[in-house]
């Protein structure tokens, strides 16, 4: 629909321009004489039009599938949006009431702290282990390729499957992890990985690290491949090997890739939902409740869609802060 | 309010363009031919029985009811978790099915939207249905949904383990605690229940809360605190694994079947799985009460059939015929037998209990069973959240049961 309207608008615009040219009479002919060739100019204009036309699907897609939900979510957060709204279409405006309720709830600070710990812990673990593995796989050794593709497995599994399997592994009484630790005599009673308020968040972060390693490994490995070998050769002549080579060659050369990995990682981790729901449902006693899970609960379990949307927007704002930081950082690196 | 509607317009337009056209065409056909009910050829049904044997069995019953009403059934089964979101989508795009099945605690939410038609509009008899069943289907004094069969939860026990330990099935809290302690040894826990942070955890706690006089309107009472103290004590002294904080009812059943729990709180829908393990001998008793003089009050489970407001009177009339037929005596008995549930008409339940002794305890409980939404209606989900939050807080030792309930109620 919007494609045809854009087209007709463009056509009418072109027509108007042609008309105004015809109206201005004499001056116009002079202008026409001055320009290299009217036919070529026309063709150029048509080309420009076609170029814009190719953008229409992308713009439409963005507006429909990214713009609409974001705007809708913002609007919704200022409304008393209930199950009845779906049937009647009526959602009274309530101003900032949803935000006030969500931000003043005793759960918000818990969720905020958990979100921060979850994101920070996950990113740190994923990145350090991912980078270590990426450097490890730079060496040439047999089975290198096979091992690297095996490490992609966590990425290939649906999150809901991963979380279900990890829930078994981490079970206090019959979980594989406790059995293993028990055999090694590291522990003698079952460790309540998912049911202790002090361990659950650590366990959930651990699983999320496991899931995030392949992403970090793949991107960082790609970045490492880009660094020319000559640099290391030259460096080794100057005595830069091992840790020194990493500090003075690898790390600076890898920085643009690192910033991409970290920012994508942060935004991606902030909104993690399935893993937490699958492992602990936010429990025990809200110790793994994050802003994402709380927003989901509010909307889809308690049917408080307005409050859920308000909390969702809080999360969007937090993500935006990181996105802006990333844009500024990348601009600076280009300027340099 | 007007502006609120206008923000919805782009979506409405898009949906209308996609969905409206074929609807309009078919709509014209039915109104043009005649306004009599004979014109209805097909009615649509949505339910969440997407696993066997329920899927085929309910499907066959629907087909038979359709034939009786002179229509064919176009049935759609969706996964249980996505039913409500599906219904909400359908109500905003005005594409609700003619017959809709809902889990009974969800009925209030949907009825409150105005999307359902009261069954009194179609002269469907509600006589003889158990009071709890009717209250589950009632929103603001009108019955919107009827459940052919219902279920609840009780205490399953492993006959062999109890006999070996010389323990008789407990009837009071003290007996339960003593039995659970005695039955706990090595890898075996005395009791298993589910106290996870979902509505399931709340549902499993309701029998002790209600039987002791606790009330969901205000959970900050000594009665509810006593009930939560029982749950907390059982976990604290190790007769219930602290994994209960994360288990689902299916996990609880797995523990019981593996012999890792001597007793469990669970429902009759687990019976087919339990019966598959022939070496497992089990019995079922009511969930113990604090004082022997108290009556066991169980929460009512089960799905209700409703007639949505589709705006097509002829279709709705046929849909109502199908709903009535699904709730007929004959269907109630057949469904109860195959699905290990209890007929919701009291007269049928009595007869059913004598024919199916295995379900006798559940049948007995249904008489006094309470609907979760009976008191709070659409306010139930918010309160159910408070209840499971308090359970989790107390069971993890973050606060005493009384404090946990006080905090949760004040939230």
Rounded to an integer, the average pLDDT of A219-233 is 91
**pLDDT tens per residue, range B145-173:** 999 999 999 999 999 999 999 999 999 99
**The pLDDT of residue A2 is above 50:** no
More confident residue, B62 or A14: B62
CA distance B156 to chain A (A): 21
Contact B346, B353 (CB under 8 A): no
Among the partner-chain residues A72, A88, A281, the one whose CB lies closest to the CB of B198 is: A281
Higher pLDDT pick, A264 / B46 = B46
Query: Which chain B residue lies closest to A84 (C-alpha atoms)?
Result: B113
pLDDT confidence of residue B16 = 41
Q: Which residue has the higher pLDDT, A3 or A315?
A: A315
Q: What is the mean pLDDT of residues A276-291?
A: 94
pLDDT tens profile B344-363: 999 999 889 999 988 999 99
Q: What is the pLDDT of residue A256?
A: 86
For residue B18, what pLDDT is reported? 43
Q: Smallest CA–CA separation between A260 and chain B, in Å?
A: 35
Report the pLDDT averaged over residues A306-314: 95
- Percentage of residues in chain B with pLDDT exceeding 70? 91
- Phi, then psi, of A292 in degrees rounded to 5: -65, -45
Sequential DSSP letters for A18-60: HHHHHHTHHHHHHHHHHSS-HHHHHHHHHHHHHHHHHHHHHHH
- Contact between B385 and A287 using a beta-carbon 8 Å cutoff: no
Q: Which residues of B touch A300 (CB under 8 A)?
A: 84-85
Helix (H) or strand (E) holding B347: helix B346-355
What's the Rg (C-alpha) of chain B?
Answer: 23
Indicate the average pLDDT of chain B: 90
| Torsional class of B94: left (φ above 0), alpha (ψ -120 to 50), beta (otherwise) | left
Provide the pLDDT confidence category of residue B25 given band limits of 50, 70 and 90: very low
pLDDT at B51: 87
Question: What's the pLDDT at A27?
Answer: 44
Rounded Cα distance, B267 and B274, in Å:
11
Greater model confidence, A26 or B134: B134
Spatial separation of the C-alpha atoms in residues B353 and B271, rounded to whole Å: 16
Interface-testing mutation among A5, A82, A85, A195, with chain B (most B C-beta atoms within 10 A): A195
Contact B81, B124 (CB under 8 A): no
Cα distances (Å, whole numbers) of residue A102 to A261, A290, B39, B127, B384:
31, 13, 51, 45, 18
C-beta atoms of B199 and A282 within 8 A: no
Higher pLDDT, B53 or A127: A127
Judged by CB atoms closer than 8 Å, whether chains meet at B4 and A283 is answered as no
pLDDT at residue A3 in the model: 42
Strands annotated E in B48-199? 72-77, 99-103, 138-139, 142-143, 145-146, 149-150, 154-158, 189-192
Q: With 0.95 as the threshold, say if the pTM is over it.
A: no
Q: Do A75 and B187 touch (CB under 8 A)?
A: no
Q: What pLDDT does residue A333 have?
A: 58
Q: CB of B400 within 8 A of CB of A287?
A: no
Residue A282 pLDDT: 93
pLDDT band for B27, please (50, 70, 90 cuts). very low
Residues from chain B that touch A87, judged by Cβ atoms under 8 A, are: 91-92, 113-115
Mean pLDDT of the B35-47 span = 79
Q: Is B399 within 8 Å of B380 (Cβ atoms)?
A: no
Confidence bin at B388 (pLDDT 50/70/90): very high
Q: How many CB atoms lie within 10 A of CB A24?
A: 12
User: Does A5 have pLDDT greater than 50?
Assistant: no
Chain B hits for A286, CB-CB cut-off 8 Å, are 197, 389, 392
Which carries the bigger pLDDT value, residue B23 or residue B322?
Answer: B322
Query: HSE of B334 in the Cβ direction (CA atoms, 13 Å)?
Result: 14
Q: Predicted ipTM?
A: 0.84
- The Cα–Cα gap between A279 and A290 comes to 13
Token digits for A232? 């290391």
pLDDT, average across residues A232-253: 88
Classify strands B261-266 and B189-192 as parallel, antiparallel or unpaired: parallel
Give tens-digit pLDDT for B101-130.
999 999 999 999 999 999 999 999 999 999
Query: Rounded to a whole number, what is the distance in Å from the CA of A84 to chain B's nearest CA?
Result: 4
Q: Rounded to the nearest 5 degrees, what angle is found at the Cα of B26, between the Cα atoms of B22 and B28?
A: 115
Q: What element of type H or E holds B305?
A: strand B303-306
By C-alpha distance, the chain B residue nearest A1 is B14
Does position B34 have pLDDT exceeding 80, yes or no?
A: no
Q: What is the mean pLDDT of residues A151-179?
A: 91
Q: Nearest Cβ partner of A280 from B112, B246, B258?
A: B246
Q: Residue B26 above 70 pLDDT? A: no
Band of residue A214 on the pLDDT scale cut at 50, 70, 90? very high
User: What confidence score (pLDDT) does residue B328 get?
Assistant: 95
Which residue from B316, B311, B304, B302 is spatially nearest to B44, judged by alpha carbons? B316
pLDDT at residue B39, as a whole number: 78
């Amino acid at each position: 629909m919007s494609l045809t309207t854009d087209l007709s608008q463009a056509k009418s615009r072109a027509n108007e321009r042609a008309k105004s040219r015809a109206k201005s009479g004499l001056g116009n002919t002079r202008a026409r004489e001055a320009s290299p060739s009217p036919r070529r100019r026309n063709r150029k204009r048509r080309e420009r039009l076609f170029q814009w036309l190719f953008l229409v699907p992308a713009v439409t897609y963005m507006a429909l599938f990214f713009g609409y939900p974001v705007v809708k979510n913002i609007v919704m957060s200022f409304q008393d949006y209930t199950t009845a709204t779906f049937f009647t279409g009526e959602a009274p405006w309530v101003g900032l009431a949803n935000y006030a309720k969500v931000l003043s709830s005793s759960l918000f600070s818990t969720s905020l702290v958990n979100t921060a710990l979850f994101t920070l812990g996950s990113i740190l673990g994923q990145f350090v282990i991912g980078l270590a593995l990426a450097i490890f796989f730079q060496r040439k050794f047999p089975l290198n390729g096979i091992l690297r593709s095996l490490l992609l497995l966590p990425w290939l599994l649906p999150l809901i499957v991963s979380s279900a399997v990890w829930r078994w592994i981490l079970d206090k009484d019959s979980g594989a992890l406790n059995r293993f630790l028990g055999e090694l005599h590291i522990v003698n009673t079952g460790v309540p990985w998912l049911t202790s308020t002090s361990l659950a968040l650590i366990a959930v972060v651990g699983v999320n690290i496991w899931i995030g390693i392949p992403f970090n490994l793949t991107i960082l490995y790609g970045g490492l491949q880009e660094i020319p070998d000559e640099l290391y050769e030259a460096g080794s002549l100057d005595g830069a090997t091992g840790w020194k080579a990493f500090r003075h060659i690898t790390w600076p050369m890898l920085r643009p890739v690192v910033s991409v990995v970290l920012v994508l990682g942060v935004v991606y981790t902030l909104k993690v939902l399935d893993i937490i729901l699958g492992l602990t449902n936010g429990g025990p006693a809200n110790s793994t409740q994050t802003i994402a899970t709380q927003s989901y609960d509010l909307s889809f379990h308690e049917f408080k869609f307005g409050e859920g949307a308000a909390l969702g927007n809080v999360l969007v704002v937090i993500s935006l802060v990181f996105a802006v930081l990333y844009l500024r950082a990348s601009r600076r690196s280009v300027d340099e | 309010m007007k502006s609120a509607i206008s923000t919805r317009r782009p979506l409405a337009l898009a949906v209308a363009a996609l969905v409206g056209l074929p609807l309009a065409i078919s709509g014209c056909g039915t109104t043009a031919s005649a306004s009599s009910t004979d014109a209805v050829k097909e009615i649509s049904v949505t339910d969440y029985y997407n696993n066997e044997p329920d899927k085929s069995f309910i499907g066959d019953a629907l087909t038979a009811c359709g034939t009786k009403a002179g229509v064919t059934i176009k049935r759609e089964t969706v996964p249980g978790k996505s039913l409500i979101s599906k219904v909400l989508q359908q109500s905003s795009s005005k594409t609700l099915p003619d017959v809709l099945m809902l889990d009974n605690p969800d009925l209030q939410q949907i009825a409150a939207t105005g999307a359902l038609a009261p069954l009194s509009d179609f002269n469907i008899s509600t006589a003889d249905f158990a009071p709890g069943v009717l209250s589950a289907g009632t929103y603001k004094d009108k019955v919107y949904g009827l459940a052919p069969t219902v279920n609840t939860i009780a205490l399953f026990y492993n006959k062999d383990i109890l006999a070996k330990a010389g323990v008789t099935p407990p009837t009071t809290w003290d007996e339960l605690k003593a039995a659970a302690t005695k039955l706990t040894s090595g890898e075996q826990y005395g009791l298993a229940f589910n106290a996870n942070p979902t509505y399931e955890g709340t549902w499993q706690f309701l029998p002790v809360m209600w039987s002791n006089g606790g009330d969901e309107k205000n959970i900050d009472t000594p009665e509810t605190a006593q009930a939560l103290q029982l749950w907390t004590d059982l976990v604290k002294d190790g007769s219930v694994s602290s994994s209960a904080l994360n288990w689902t009812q299916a996990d609880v059943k797995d523990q019981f079947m593996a012999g890792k729990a001597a007793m469990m709180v669970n429902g009759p829908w687990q019976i087919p799985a339990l019966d598959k393990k022939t070496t497992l001998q089990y019995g079922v008793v009511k969930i113990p009460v604090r004082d022997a003089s108290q009556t066991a009050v169980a929460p009512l489970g089960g799905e209700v059939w409703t007639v949505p407001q589709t705006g097509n009177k002829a279709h709705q009339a046929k849909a109502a015929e199908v709903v009535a037929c699904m709730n007929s005596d004959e269907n109630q008995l057949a469904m109860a037998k195959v699905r290990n549930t209890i007929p919701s008409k009291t007269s049928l339940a009595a007869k059913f209990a004598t024919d199916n002794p295995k379900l006798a305890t559940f049948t007995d409980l249904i008489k006094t069973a309470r609907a979760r939404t009976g008191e709070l209606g659409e306010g139930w989900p918010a309160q159910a959240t408070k209840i499971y939050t308090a359970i989790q807080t107390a069971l993890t030792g973050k606060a005493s049961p009384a404090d946990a309930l006080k905090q949760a109620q004040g939230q």
